[in-house]
Amino acid sequence: MKILDSKAFLTRAGKSLAFTSLGLGGAPLGDLFERLDQQTAHDTILTAYRSGIRVFDTSPHYGNGLSEARFGAALRDLPRDAFLLSTKVGRRMDPFTQPAPARADVTSPGFAGGFPHRAMFDYSYDGTMRSIEQSLLRTGLSRFDILMIHDCDVWTQGADMIDQRFKEAMDGAYKALDRLRSEGTVAAIGVGVNEADICERFARAGDFDVMMLAGRYSLLEQPALASFLPLAEQKSIGILLAGVFNSGILATGAVPGATYNYTAASTDIMTRVGRIEAVCQRHGVTLRQAALGFALHHPAVVTLVLGAVKPGEMEANVADAQIAIPPALWSELKREGLLDAAAPTG
């Protein structure tokens, strides 16, 4: 699938959305790892658009609203029907209180910069509606195409809170989003989390159009393959796949300082990635190219959401995603036990 091609997707409400195979993810543009200057962030978003990308994803979490503001500033002068924009609910901002310190008992990363506003988890009906209102004001746009319940997973909430948060999300946020979809205010609703089993739990509990899954279906690991992705196909849920580089190591390779799930990669992960990269080299492709090519093969995936903080990074993502991967590479990875034998690669 070429970047300029679009994958038509029909929502529960009967609206057709056109997903380009690559999308631009907004977490890095919220000062995830480093503080970014406004002009570079602006140029990165517009470079993605000029490259043919028409899917843009953000969240109030990304820099406490900074990412949303940057997307709005870059996109608001473009024809509104020329792109898809998604954001998320589950947090609302208090502009009068400084951000809380990062928790040590969860994995979800903090941000190096962003707006000096405190984020508060709020999956209630009223909190969801307020969150959407705040997001519209930050972007200066008239609507979002997709709204997703964000970070209602163990990764973010901790094992002791996940059942309570899940109930809050289904009793509150889901009902708010379902109402907005039925009224035609938003075209599609979904969930954005880091765990395949939580995606499956939501998929069985509600009627969702799309889900964003980060990190759990990649060239390195495929835990979503056994149960969740078949369920997504069965229920016609479109998958926005994020974290296909597992926060870095599938882009950099097994080099000193490589990161996996936002922390230093373990020896076992470094060894496995090194073996995968050796196979890629034998077939004349880079690890990055193989990571992108693999993720695009699954029929449930409607787009890959990739982060970038510079125009050159966006251009590199587009170029690497269009490289044809030799089928023999997938066969060798499966023979070596480095790729699930059931993973779609044809």
Whether the Cβ atoms of residue 53 and residue 23 lie closer than 8 Å to each other: yes
- pLDDT for 112: 86
Amino acid letter for position 181: R
Task: Examine the residue annotation and report whether 62 is marked as an active-site residue of this protein.
Answer: yes
According to the model, what pLDDT value does residue 111 have?
87
Give the pair of three-digit tokens for residue 219: 């060239």
Catalytic hit among 31, 62, 122, 320? 62
Q: Are 7 and 49 in contact (CB under 8 A)?
A: no
**pLDDT score of 102:** 72
Catalytic residue among 31, 43, 57, 126: 57
State the CB neighbour count (10 A cutoff) for residue 338.
16
CA distances from 129 to 76, 88, 178, 211 (A): 22, 11, 12, 20
We find that the CATH architecture of domain 6-335 is Alpha-Beta Barrel (3.20)
Q: d(Cα 301, Cα 297) in Å, to the nearest integer? A: 8
Write the single-letter amino acid at 331.
S
> Rg of the chain's alpha carbons, rounded to an integer?
19
Question: Does 1 have pLDDT greater than 50?
Answer: no
175 as an active site residue: the answer is: no
- Please pick, among 31, 88, 209, 217, the residue that the annotation labels catalytic: 88
**What's the pTM value of the predicted model, to 2 decimals?**
0.95
Report the candidate in 345, 301, 300, 296 with the shortest Cα–Cα distance to residue 320. Answer: 296
The confidence band for 264, taking pLDDT boundaries of 50, 70 and 90, is very high
Written as one letter, the residue type at 4 is: L
Expressed in percent and rounded to 5, the helix, strand and coil fractions of the chain are: 40, 20, 40
Nearest to 145 by CA among 190, 78, 176: 190
Give 52-111 pLDDT, tens digit per residue: 999 999 999 999 999 999 999 999 999 999 999 999 999 999 999 988 777 666 656 678
Residue 234: enclosing H or E segment and its boundaries?
helix 228-234
Q: What is the pLDDT of residue 105?
A: 67
Strands of the chain, DSSP E: 6-10, 16-20, 22-25, 55-57, 84-89, 91-94, 118-121, 146-150, 188-193, 210-214, 238-242, 259-260, 263-264, 301-307
pLDDT tens digits, one per residue of 150-174: 999 999 999 999 999 999 999 999 9
Over residues 205-230, the mean pLDDT reads: 97
Does residue 14 register a pLDDT over 50? Answer: yes
Question: For residue 107, which of 169, 194, 27 has the smallest C-alpha distance?
Answer: 194
Two tokens, residue 262: 């936002």
CB 298 within 8 A of CB 239: yes
DSSP of 262-293: TEEPPHHHHHHHHHHHHHHHHTT--HHHHHHH
Q: Using pLDDT thresholds of 50, 70 and 90, give the confidence band for residue 4.
A: low
* Every domain of the chain and the residues it spans: 6-335
Dihedral (Cα; 217, 67, 97, 157), 10-degree rounding: -10
Mean pLDDT rounded to a whole number for the chain: 95
125-142 residues labelled b (16+ CB within 10 A) or e (exposed): bebbbbbbebbbebbebe
